[in-house]
Amino acid sequence: MARYDSYGNLDDRIGEDLDQGFVGFNNRLRPDQLRPGNLAESNNGRMDLNGEWQPRKGIEVFSSPFSPGVFTLPFNLYDTSIPAVSSYTRAGEIITVNFGSAHGITNSTGVNISGLTPGGTEDPNGNFIVTVIDSDTFTYTVTSLSDDPTGTMVVSGMKLDATAGNFIEASCEFSDPNNSSESYVACVGTNSTVLVKIADSGNTTVTLTYPTGETVPEGSTITQAFNKLYIFRKGQIAMEWAGDITSPAFSLVANGTYVQPTPIPITDLDFSGGIATATSASTSSLLVGDILTVTDAGSSGYSVGEVVRVNAITSFTTFTFVTNKADATNKNATVEKVGSLGLGFSHMPAPEFGTYHQRRLVVPYQYDITGSSGSATITDRNIVDEALFSDILDSNTYDRIYGQFRFNAGTADHIVGFHSFSDDKLVVFNRNSIHIVANSLDLGSSISQVITNEVGCLARDSIQQIGNNMIFLSDNGVYGLDFMDLYNLRGQDVPLSSSIEGTIKRINKAYAHNAKSVYFDNRYYLAVPLDSSTTNNALIIYNFINKQWESIDSIDSSDWEYSELTVAGEGDKRGVYVINRNGGVHEYESRVDDQDRYIVQVGGTITANQIKSSALTRMFNLNSIDRKKWNNFDVHLQSSENNVSNADLQAITENIDGIIDLGSVSDLNGSDLAIDEDVSLRGRFGNKRAYGLQFKLTTTKGRPRLRALKVAGAMTFKSLNKAE
């Protein structure tokens, strides 16, 4: 804008302030304390190395893996006030039910029948719609019923079928160990798990069934280890799938009281080229890496007590191990898997989660498993700060002496999560402390030590290792551990989230333990429940290139939640996938336009909404606390490479407080910004008087890029009276 070349003593000198790019947002400091390049707010925006702020890309439905399993009927939930049945009779498919007094049931509503023994193949028990004959009689129909039932009938309110609905309770990436290009998102449903193939754009799915009568409750977790998928259900027997697409069914892990290993007679032992091939009745109890003790040397040339390690399992009856014996054939011996001391081995103790570390599975040790397999008894130990390590490459065997560790015994603390780190260190995150277990390859010589008692982890799935940092959500915000000299861990004294304290204070602490996170494209994505939400309704993003918090993302729907976050896929399909518990799998930031397309109901239709993006700048004050007369602005914008763009512009003043409507980009430009067009727009504030001024851009079309902003004003308030 035009200015004077020179000023007189009575002239108000025009001052300018400028932001030539943007790197992050900060809502801890006052807007007038922020440095150039820092925004006060960034909603659904991204800031890359070129310093431009731009709305994020839209999300797209990738797969809706489950079909709706429930339907709606006009029924009443009758309580126990329904009187006892006095008699019932069958005539064909119709059963007539008589009561000794008024039943109070409304015609064409549902009831639940129980207590009957079928006379044939058709079951007269269950939920049925009734036809009311009179106040103490109704009938219901059982299709194909041809025999009289027996037993005492009980009529109650219709019961909801817990197996009818299928919600996504957990997720992870499953990579086929035999094919590096096969990547799936494993969606753990209430009644089945569905693998969604990334390479086929979600069109190919594989359904994995559960054992009869087994379901997955909310709060369960899943992980891939030993080339298998494990579903952990707190206080219930875990389930495993061997990873074979041709056998798509989960089974219960080994359970019940652990039976110590039995001798394995080797009926034929051949030595050739340093490899021993052993033939036994069965190798089903062996795993690669098992250590075997010789209990009867036979003709093998070994001594009782010597040990060998299983090198390979070549068939159902043969396995191999490395030997130093000379070539020979037709030898024999008896071996036995190495047993444990004291308390002995245990099967997997019905954990809530598990972590793969140094070829072992590490789980919380909260429950004891006893009894026989298939009818095991699960007992709560009422100990929540112990971990249990499995044997190497054996998820079914846990040594309760050498493989058991307790952290912060005697204090009100409990295990929240584990993270496997380099140099054979397992980081143990407690609620109020952090520990390390070192040297887990040899559990007998493993040690544990405290990193810090000053901070703990609030949410297990918030833990991510990024370069030389391990970050997680704590009571004080997003904290970190630094890897210092020779991989020693040291806790940070200042939270990583200190600059967005205003957002951290909005997290609903009662539900913060459900927070989720992933790391991708140099960004840390943290899904949290903000304000009064009981589900993760916002995504907070930290940009490790800019070293700044970048955005608070959200979806314009009260029914949406960031239930699960997973990084999956290969090539251009690799990215962040967001799972909505009540909907499906969504590919995050995959669309080039300003639309979010998502599903918020199992089997529902796709909803499309425009992304609500906005950027609010720091408060410009011309480095003075005097009141200014705000004169003009100059904003540089550029449309995206794929979309026509538009946005509303506002100025927000403080002391005197007010909002100045500056119009839209199309108003100032004469039209929307064409695809990839850049423009410098100039306008006036109308000489509004205020101490400071913020500039706000709210997108209304496309994904315009905010490149630079300049504001100008003059010192004008020289009175000693206060300004309000």
- Which option is the CATH number for 85-157: 1.10.3470, 2.60.120, 2.40.30, 1.20.140? 2.40.30
Q: Say which CATH class 14-56+613-715 falls into.
A: mainly beta
- Give the number of other CB atoms < 10 A from CB of residue 392: 18
Identify the bridge partners of residue 426 per DSSP, sorted by sequence position. Answer: 420, 437
* E-only strand ranges, 64-136: 85-91, 94-99, 110-117, 126-129, 131-134
Three-state secondary structure readout of 256-307: CCCCCCCCEEEEEEEEECCEEEEECCCCCCCCCCCEEEEEECCCCCCCCCCE
> Residue 502: enclosing H or E segment and its boundaries?
helix 501-504
Residues 172 and 187 sit within 8 Å (Cβ to Cβ): no
Q: Which helix (H) or strand (E) holds 592?
A: none
Average pLDDT over residues 268-296: 88
Q: Mind listing the pLDDT tens digit for each residue in 135-155?
A: 999 999 998 898 999 999 999
DSSP H/E element including 669: helix 665-669
Residue 136's Cα: distance from chain center in Å? 53
Whether the CA torsion 700, 703, 704, 708 is positive or negative: it is positive
Average pLDDT score, the chain: 88
Compute the C-alpha angle 253/256/257, nearest 5°: 130
CB 16 within 8 A of CB 693: no
pLDDT score at 174: 92
Cβ contact 177:243 at 8 Å = yes
> Comparing 680 with 402, which gets the higher pLDDT?
680
60, β-bridge pairs: 587
- Tell me the chain's radius of gyration from C-alpha atoms: 33
Q: What is the pLDDT of residue 202?
A: 76
Residue 227's H or E segment, with its range, is none
CA distance 685 to 351: 62
Judged against a pLDDT cut of 70, whether residue 724 lies above it is answered with: no
pLDDT of the residue at 55: 96
Q: How far, in Å, CA of 371 to CA of 291, rounded? A: 27
Higher pLDDT, 548 or 160: 548
Give 28-78 pLDDT, tens digit per residue: 999 999 999 999 999 999 998 789 999 999 999 998 888 765 444 444 555
Q: What is the identity of the amino acid at 400?
A: R
Please, what sign has the CA dihedral across residues 95, 100, 106, 107? positive
For residue 70, count CB atoms less than 10 angstroms from its CB and return exposed for 0-12, middle for 13-18, buried for 19 or more.
exposed
For residue 288, give the nearest of 209, 182, 391 by alpha carbon: 391
Instruction: Please give the pLDDT value at position 2.
Output: 47
Q: Measuring CA to CA, which residue among 387, 369, 395 is closest to residue 253?
A: 395
The answer to whether the CB of 223 falls within 8 A of the CB of 360 is no
Query: What own/partner pairs with CB < 8 Å and gap ≥ 24 does 487-490 have?
Result: 487/421, 487/422, 487/423, 487/425, 489/421, 489/425, 489/427, 489/436, 489/451, 490/451
Read off the pTM: 0.78
Q: What is the pLDDT of residue 267?
A: 93
Structurally, at CATH architecture level, domain 264-337 sits in Beta Barrel (2.40)
Domain boundaries, the chain: 14-56+613-715, 85-157, 264-337
Whether the pLDDT of residue 363 is over 80: the answer is yes
> Kind and range of the H or E element at 17?
strand 14-19
Give long-range contacts, CB 8 A cutoff, 24+ apart: 264-267: 264/292, 264/334, 264/335, 264/336, 264/337, 265/332, 265/334, 266/298, 266/300, 266/332, 266/333, 266/334, 266/335, 267/332
Closest to 62 in 3D by CA, of 718, 649, 606 = 606
- Distances in whole angstroms, Cα of residue 473 to Cα of each of 28, 453, 468, 479, 565: 17, 15, 17, 6, 15
CA distance 690 to 30: 16
Judge whether 592 and 643 are in contact, CB under 8 Å.
Answer: yes
Question: pLDDT tens across 498-547, in order?
Answer: 999 999 999 999 999 999 999 999 999 999 999 999 999 999 999 999 99
The two counts, helices (H) then strands (E), for the chain are 2, 59
With a cut of 50, say whether residue 351 has pLDDT above it. Answer: yes
Same fold, 14-56+613-715 and 264-337: no
Q: How confident is the model at residue 10 (pLDDT cuts 50, 70, 90)?
A: low
How many Cβ atoms are within 10 Å of 298's Cβ, its own excluded? 15
CA 695 to chain centre: 36
**Residue 641: C-alpha distances to residues 101, 302, 673, 677, 704 (Å):** 75, 74, 11, 8, 9
Predicted confidence band of residue 571 (pLDDT cuts 50, 70, 90)? confident
What are the tokens at 1? 């804008």
Residue 406 pLDDT grade (very low, low, confident, very high; cuts 50, 70, 90): confident
pLDDT value at 488 more than 70? no
More confident residue, 398 or 73: 398
Q: Give the model confidence (pLDDT) of 660-678 as tens digits.
A: 999 999 999 999 999 999 9
Question: Which two three-digit tokens encode residue 64?
Answer: 């809706």
Rounded CA separation 116/124 (Å) = 7
Q: Which of 65-79, 118-132, 538-552, 598-612 has the lowest mean pLDDT?
A: 65-79
Question: Can you tell me the mean pLDDT for 306-317?
Answer: 90
Cα separation of 2 and 435, whole Å? Answer: 64
